Amino acid sequence: MTTAANTVPQDLRVPARRRAWTLEHRFYFSLATFIAGAVFLGFARTFFLRHWFPDWAALHAAPEFFFVIHGLTNAAWFALFIAQVALVGSRRVRLHRQMGWFGTGVAIAVVVLGVWGSLIAARRPTGFIDVPVSPLQFLAVPLSLLLLFSIFFILAILGRRDAQMHKRCMVLASLSLVEAAVGRWPLAFLRKATLLPFLSPLDLTVDLFLLPLIWWDLHSRKRLHPVTLWGGLALIVIHPLRMMLAGTAAWQRFAAWCVHPLGP
């Protein structure tokens, strides 16, 4: 005989206190949504809403169709990032883990297409769009961020049984990708000259994205988690290091070697 209890969906049979999102779940969901929103704002006029900004897109959007695929892949990463946080908050951990395999494929695609797209941009006669820097020199910027993304994602996978390490690594991996979007925010001061050697307003703005994670650590742990500390330092230090590297003759030769296979 079918009882009333059996007719209730399994998720609804979980006591309300277990279904309710904790403060930690709400924090990470809000942070993931904020990061994705920052990306949407940056690429709204040149990608997500480009049909509403045709004049702007004609001047500032990448002309190659390849970047449509590249943009969709990165958008999929941030959408999946939010979805995965929501699944954990809803206690659907099994589905979260199953989706993790799909997320691994998306992450690999982000890196492969990101490197490929960077080389395409560096090979253009006009170089990277709206970047008044030598293309071979600027190539150090996206490649360094993709390297950080790869490292954080690999650490997140290796430490997936440590929930606190895993979620912080995933946040830092996503933060590694926001710089290109923030640089396209409709805020003129972000494109001003550097304030200090190798430090620009854009660099400082991107570094501010670490503050919510720092606040959460101090609020919940009374100290910084090692991933927040060392991963955050890596995101900050990469700014001056990559520009120092980009100015060397060795990097110029390496960058030229990278873009050479794309042809004339």
Q: Which residues of 26-51 are buried (b: 16+ CB within 10 A; e: fewer)?
A: ebbbebbeebbebbebbbbbbbbebe
Is position 16 within any domain?
A: no
Burial of 63 (0-12, 13-18, 19+ CB in 10 A): exposed
pLDDT averaged per 10 residues, the chain (length 264)? 45 50 94 97 95 92 95 97 94 90 95 96 91 90 96 96 95 96 87 62 91 96 96 94 90 91 63
- Judge whether 14 lies within some domain: no
Token digits of residue 64: 């190659």
Domains of the chain: total: 1
With respect to residue 7, please indicate whether it lies within any of the assigned structural domains: no
User: For residue 71, is it within any domain?
Assistant: yes
Structural domain includes residue 15: no
Domain that residue 146 falls in: 22-262
- 209 in a domain, yes or no? yes
pTM: 0.88
pLDDT digit string, tens, across residues 124-183: 988 999 888 899 999 999 999 999 999 999 999 999 999 999 999 999 999 999 999 999
Is the residue at 8 inside a domain? no
Q: Please report the pLDDT score of residue 190 as a whole number.
A: 76
pLDDT for the residue numbered 263: 57
How high is the pLDDT of residue 159?
Answer: 93
3-state helix, strand, coil in the chain (%, to 5): 75, 0, 25
- Whether residue 56 is contained in a domain is answered as yes
- Residue 193: its pLDDT value, please? 57
